[in-house]
Structure formats: C-alpha cells, structure tokens
Structure 1
Amino acid sequence: MDWFRQLSGLEIAYFVIACVGTLLLIIQIILMIVGAESDADLDTDTDGDGALDSHTDTGVSLFTTKGLTAFFAIGGWTGMVLLSYNINTGLSIGVSVAAGLVAYVVVWLIMRAVVKLQENGTVDYATAVGKCATVYVSIPPKRSGRGKITLTLQGRFTEADAVTDEEERIPVDGEVEIVGSTGDFFVVKRKKAD
C-alpha cells in the first residue's frame, strides 16, 4: 500500500477511474456471457405521479454503458501509464481522453455492427408468391374453407393456412403453387406437371 501513498492526486484519480471502469467492464462481460445483461436505461416522470418508464435500448445509442465503461477503463489506464513515464500532465490528460474516446467509438462501432446482424423474425407472406408448397391438410374447393400447406419461407420451414379457387379439393401431399397472399393465409393452385 506504500505505492498508493506515493501517487499524486492525478495518479490517484486515474487509478480510481481505471479500477471502477475495469470492474464495471468485467461485470458487463460476465453478465453478457450468462445472458443477463442489457444496455437499458430508466426514465422517471418528475411531475409527482411516480410513474416509471423502463425500456431496453434496442437501437445503437451513442451513449451506452458499454461505451462509457470502455472510455473510463482505457482512459484511466492510459493516463496511469503515461504518468508512470513522467509524461507532461497536460499531455497525459489529452492522450488519455483521446484513448478513451477511441475505445468509446470502437465499442459503438462494434455494437452497431452487432445490431445489423440481428434478423427480423417476421415472416413476409408476400415473398412466397410463385413458390411451391406441399399440402399438409387438404384444401376445400372455391375458398369454402382453409387447408394447410408446408414450405420453406425465408430460410425456415413454415406451416400456413391456404385456400384455393379451384373446383376440386386439393388432397394431402398434393403439390401447389402459391399465387397470392391475403393477410395470414395463402391462395394456391395445383402445380402443373412438368
């Protein structure tokens, strides 16, 4: 503990900032590994009704706890190293702030790239028009009822309701072509033999 007593005020500030930033960074990494982390914030209504509005940060905000943690951890340790080499105080502050900002921007860019990798899980039925499918539950004629079809849509196996305008029932295991989509079901016709 003698080394700590020998530190200047600026070195102590750098050390405390670096340790707190590093500790928070380690906690965030552990929470991320176990799946319990979320970059969230809490808004409160100050008009006196006590309502809390908590929401998760689903976009990539410029101000995130991950970015701030990286800024303080990298900036603090950079300042400590520079002062240990007897670098000018003003220069060490400038370089440590710059290093922290670089870390902040790198984290922001990484988070932005990760968000772009996320896929929207909504199935767009309109993309199925023209595709072939297999009848899973027979389809009654002239839209008198719904049957079911199976197909691969947007990279996943999907089961969906289907109707037909044809005069005869389309049996199970029949091959159909999707000619339209209306809301939550498809309009199909028998697939012509090749």
Structure 2
Amino acid sequence: MTTLALLTQVSQWWDELNLARQVFYGFGIIAGVVAVILAVLSMIGFDHHDSIDAIGDADTGDGGGIFSIKPLTGFFLGFGWAGGLALDNGLGLFAATVIAIVSGGILMGIIVAMFRAIQSMRSDGTVRIDDALNATGTVYITLPPSKGSGGQVVVSFHGRQETFAALNVTDRAIPSGERVKVIQIVDPRTVLVEPL
C-alpha cells in the first residue's frame, strides 16, 4: 500500500466519524504523536530536565510529576482511544466519557508510578563517607599514634575504593599496608580507624 493510498483511507475513515468520535480519536491521535516524539527525544537524550516536563512537579523534573507532559500525554492517549472505541462498540456518549476518563487516569497513574520507580533506582554516584563506617581498608600512608594527623587509608565499600585522611586510635603507629577498620567518621574526608 502506497503512502497516498494510506492517507486516502485514513481521510475517508476520519470523514465517516461523527463529531464525538472525532473528538475522542483526535485526542488519542495527537497524544500518540506526542508520545512518539517524546520517545524519540528520550532515545537521543533531549528529555533530561526539560522545562516543559517539570510543570507541576519542580522537585523531580523527570516526568514523574502528575501534571508533567509525559503523564498528561498518557492520560489523553488513554482517554482518546478508550472513548472512541467505547463509542464504536455502541455505548452512549456519557458512558464512553466515563470509560475514557477512567482509562486515561489509569494510564496516567501507571506512567507516574513507572517514572518514580525509575527515579528511585537512579544513583548520582556521590560517595557518602557515612557508608564507610565499619568498612575495612588498608593503610596507604603510615598512621601516626594517638590520633596524629598525616596518615591515609584506602577503604573499600559499596564496590569501590576511596582514599581518606585517617586518625589512628591506638598509641602505636600503624604502618603502610596494614589492615584497619573504620570505627568513626570524623569529618567529610577523615575517618578514625583501629587495626584489625
């Protein structure tokens, strides 16, 4: 089937619809086109933190706000197609409108839940020193005794290694290469350790 024949067939189908069906299917078609455009933009990386998507939910900006463009597109997609199909199956305008609103709301809720679930799985990759508490490591630069400064340790936690300034809780120096345990977080870049 050629493109011209397809367009002619779609045009004939549209002309045969009454006004109510045209309204429902119009919402569904426009929302479908917007959904395809959003999907393409997402695939090429142009949807992250866009200003349109943050409408109604400024703290996420990820499509997870109930009044952002992705859930609203989902609502109108469900609303339009469900309403049009309900009319096609012989239901009255009131029943079709109720079905359309419920279907749109369900699709909108699914989209919001999906984006929030995706957002909750994201990690910004920031190292939080509090996660190093009770982790083990190796002395990198000899730790002076009695909490003297100048020593460093390499600590392994959450599948990564980080180097921190370290204070030694014991009254003897801990040489480079010795294993230690983090027993306290002193500040954002310093830990207190004891030998294993």
Q: TM-score, normalised by structure 2?
A: 0.77
How far apart, in 1, do the equivalents of 2:88 and 2:181 lie?
73
Letter in 2 for 1:89: L
Letter in 1 for 2:46: A
- Say whether 1:178 aligns with 2:182: yes
Q: Any idea what the Cα deviations from partners look like across 1:61-80, whole Å, max 9, x if unmatched?
A: 33221111011011111122
Partner of 1:38: 48
Partner of 1:131: 135
Partner of 2:3: none
How far apart, in 1, do the equivalents of 2:99 and 2:110 lie?
16
Deviates more, 1:74-83 or 1:117-126: 117-126
Deviates more, 1:4-13 or 1:143-152: 143-152
The 5-angstrom pairing of residues 9-24 of structure 1 reads 9-24=19-34
Number of residue pairs the alignment of both structures matches: 180
Q: Any idea what the Cα deviations from partners look like across 1:93-145, whole Å, max 9, x if unmatched?
A: 11111111111111122222223323464444344333321012333344443
1:166: how far off?
4.0
Deviates more, 1:160-169 or 1:83-92: 160-169
Kindly indicate which of the two structures has a greater share of residues assigned to strand. 1
Percent pairwise identity: 21
1:176: how far off?
1.6
Residue of 154, 175, 181 corresponding to 2:158: 154
Whether the 8 Å CA contact 1:137–1:171 is kept in 2: the answer is yes
Whether the 8 Å CA contact 2:64–2:116 is kept in 1: the answer is yes
Deviates more, 1:19-28 or 1:142-151: 142-151
* Gap regions ≥5 residues in structure 1: 43-53
What's the RMSD between the two structures over aligned residues?
A: 2.6
The 5-angstrom pairing of residues 44-83 of structure 1 reads 57=61, 60-83=64-87
How far apart, in 2, do the equivalents of 1:136 and 1:98 lie?
62
Partner of 1:96: 100
Q: TM-score, normalised by structure 1?
A: 0.78
1:157: how far off?
2.3
